[in-house]
Amino acid sequence: MSKNHTRRGNMLIAMTIVVVVMGLTASMIDQTTGEANASRAREENERLRIAAESAANIVTAALRKDPSVLKDSAGTIADAKPATLSATPLYGFSLGSGTPSSAANPLTIFGVPVTVTYGLTYQKKLSSATASTVDKSGAITTDKDTTTLKTDETFIVRTTARLGKKAYNVDVWMQELPIDTTVETTTFTTLSYTASRGLGADDGYQYKGAAKTDSWDSAKADYDAKHPGSMGDIASNGIVDVAKAGNVNGTATSNAKMDMAFDYVEPGSVTSDLGDLNKAQALKGGGIYKASSLGSDTVLSLDGSDSDVVTIYLDGPFSMQNTIKYTGSGTPKLLIYQNDYDSTKGGTTFNGNNATGILKDPSKFVMASAYSGNITFNGNASWGGVLYAPNANIKLNGTFDYFGSLIVKSMDRGEVNGSFAFHFDENLKRQPAVDLTIQGPTVTTPTTRTYATGSGKYRLAMRAFPGN
């Protein structure tokens, strides 16, 4: 083969390679350009979506902050309101002003201005099966008979970000949040408590030492220590252990299943509020009083007939020492309801070396206490009355005669040990000593369901989609 033929062959091969390379290069350029355009389009779409969603967030936040925009001057939904707000430029626009500012739409994508608008449409649900309808432009067709309007409504915010022929829409459905109104009712039961024994406790205790019990009937005669009755009963809802059987002139009952409940309830109205009382105070029969505390210098002077009742609602401590006196011809009953309280305010104590209460008729002094601390008896004294304190611990110090009935949560150190004498008045069984209030369960009852129109309380649902 000649050298010329060889040279021509090499040139042909070289030209073929150049053509192939140029073809591949053109193909790669076209592919790269297409990918760049597609990437730009995706980025434009994403930016449009973000712009539309951001606009939707701005509008819904503004509406929730100022829900009055959703109503007319009369405070009702105006059918024309959505139409006047539809297709409004967003940025720089103040809701309700009706006019965009000069700074509207300060947004560009790749240097090209983007138009962002929003429209507010409204759909109301009627009591009939017919519901309002809303078209895409925001125009409303609806039943104008507002008397059939139910109170559940939906506002639809549509924001549109537009770049040339491209657009992206976001719809936010603002549906009223229903509010259920409920009423809590606490039930109270009033029980008449009748004293049936001289001494009782919820917890178990020992009855020992020189402590004794007996009874008498105040309706028939005064107490006679030489001829006592045999109804000086004691009991416990736990175990009562009597060290000397002869010291209890009555029955000692364990596991007695006594009702031990009392809830202090504030009075509806009172004759007078005594505050923190620590002085002589005249009280009228039939009066209902309230006190924050009764100090040791308190003297209650009761004036009324035998059938009258003087009632005190006590919110704090009670220090009793020769406290009760009668200024009239009769002996009205003194009834004290004591609330539970913070023991740092002071103790509840019964002190003195004299007679307190009415020894001849313990039914004339009755105290029902919800206090959960210590109630202390001090001194060598006589005490006549009925004390019902199902939450309290009793501390007995000194030597005294207790005429009436004592019912408590527990005995201090779990024992009655000392020179104490409990004389139960059998006449207490014939008449209720006090009405006790027992709190029952609290019941929640649904009443009405309302909707939060114009309050900014809505359920939100969002959807995003390409527009045209």
Mean pLDDT of 330-353: 89
CA atoms within 13 A on the CB side of 232: 24
Do 199 and 51 have their domain in common? no
* Segment 422-443, tens digit of pLDDT: 999 999 998 887 777 666 666 6
Task: Flag whether 52 is in a domain.
Answer: yes
**Model confidence at 218: pLDDT above 70:** yes
Model pTM?
0.60
Do 104 and 57 have their domain in common? yes
Task: Flag whether 395 is in a domain.
Answer: yes
Q: pLDDT band for 118, please (50, 70, 90 cuts).
A: low
Say if residues 240 and 208 touch (Cβ distance below 8 Å): no
Task: Flag whether 117 is in a domain.
Answer: yes
Q: Report the 10 Å Cβ neighbour count for 440.
A: 11
Return the structure tokens found at 408. 């408590």
Domain count, the chain: 2
* Segment 14-28, tens digit of pLDDT: 677 766 666 666 566
Do 54 and 138 have their domain in common? yes
Do 98 and 165 have their domain in common? yes
Q: How many Å apart are CA 62 and CA 52, to the nearest integer?
A: 15
Do 200 and 232 have their domain in common? yes
Do 123 and 218 have their domain in common? no
Let me know the angle formed at the C-alpha of 429 by 426 and 432, rounded to the nearest 5 degrees: 135
Do 417 and 461 have their domain in common? no
Mean pLDDT of 74-97: 39
Q: How many Å apart are CA 201 and CA 375, to the nearest integer?
A: 13
Task: Flag whether 228 is in a domain.
Answer: yes
Do 159 and 232 have their domain in common? no
Do 91 and 163 have their domain in common? yes
**Model confidence at 128: pLDDT above 70:** no
* Segment 161-194, tens digit of pLDDT: 777 777 777 777 766 666 666 777 766 677 778 8
Domain that holds residue 366: 188-264+340-443
Q: How many Å apart are CA 54 and CA 90, to the nearest integer?
A: 11
Do 381 and 459 have their domain in common? no
Do 66 and 129 have their domain in common? yes
* Segment 362-418, tens digit of pLDDT: 999 999 999 999 998 887 778 889 999 999 999 888 788 899 999 999 998 888 887
Task: Flag whether 221 is in a domain.
Answer: yes
